């Protein structure tokens, strides 16, 4: 595994490996410069998608090597891997199972696709990342890991 630190190029890893993955540094903050690094070293295909969690993904080609810059938060990285990167490697369909969610879920922003993490107990899906499980409020992907062990 190669970790790109500071403002280093991803050219060397792209020459050495068949595919390059990074995590973090791909959003819009002061220290988020991975998309710029990809753009400077090769071709940035896209940056950001309308999916939550997982919005700050960047994908590019450097030295004929695909570079996937994943979000730093674990739920965002997992979602980006599953929804974007997975299709690069396989056309295998995802396993699906239709269940009703046992409560209404209010999504905070329109114009986004939301990946809803759920806990399934007795064929009932309960939304994870709900402040109502911990406090009060809307669905927030940032608190999913904090609510993973709730009943």
Residue 118 CA to residue 148 CA, distance in Å, equals 9
Helix residue spans in the chain (DSSP H)? 11-16, 34-41, 74-80, 86-89, 131-134
Low pLDDT (below 70) residues in the chain: 1-8, 129-151
**What pLDDT does 8 receive?**
61
Residue 120 CA to residue 97 CA, distance in Å, equals 11
């Amino acid at each position: 595994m190669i970790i790109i630190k500071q403002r280093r190029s991803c050219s060397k890893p792209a020459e050495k490996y068949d595919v390059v993955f990074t995590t973090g540094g791909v959003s819009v903050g002061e220290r988020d410069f991975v998309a710029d690094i990809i753009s400077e070293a090769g071709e940035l295909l896209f940056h950001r998608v309308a999916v939550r969690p997982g919005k700050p993904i960047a994908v590019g080609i450097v030295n004929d090597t695909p570079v996937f810059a994943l979000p730093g938060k674990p739920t965002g990285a997992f979602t980006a891997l599953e929804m974007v990167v997975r299709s690069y490697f396989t056309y295998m369909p995802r396993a699906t199972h239709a269940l009703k969610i046992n409560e209404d879920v209010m999504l905070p922003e329109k114009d986004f696709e939301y990946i809803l993490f759920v806990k399934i107990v007795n064929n009932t899906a309960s939304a994870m990342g709900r402040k109502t499980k911990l406090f009060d409020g809307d669905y927030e992907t940032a608190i999913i890991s904090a609510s993973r062990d709730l009943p």
